[in-house]
Amino acid sequence: MPDVPADFPRTAGGVVSGAQPKRCLILCSDGLYRESSSDEVRQERYELCEDLAHQLRDVALRDAAQHSHEEVLRRVRVAVQENDWTTPSETTWLVQRLRTLLAW
């Protein structure tokens, strides 16, 4: 099992509409609500994001034949967000990881 990089997001993140400030929490296996995920959940989310970055690498390379690198990464971000595959902070990490994998 690969180690989770230090820059991988830890917080639950999220946006809740309304007039009053709200905090997004995660219900953990011990029955408590926390702002950040457990190490186990964080590991699972990291593995999902890492796998997704590798899958999107080939898609991005094909898209780069018609678009600039920045446009390709923007399009990837939009697609990932529209599909709700990751949290906003995970999406930011994923796009940066994809940039690294592509050496862009």
Long-range contacts of 77-86 (CB under 8 A, 24+ apart): 80/52, 80/56, 85/48, 85/52, 86/45, 86/48, 86/49, 86/52
Digit-by-digit pLDDT tens for the chain (104 residues) are 579 999 998 865 555 667 777 766 767 777 877 766 677 778 888 999 999 999 999 999 999 999 999 999 999 999 999 998 888 999 999 999 999 999 99
Query: What's the pLDDT at 20?
Result: 75
Query: What's the pLDDT at 1?
Result: 59
Taking the model in full, what pTM does it have?
0.75
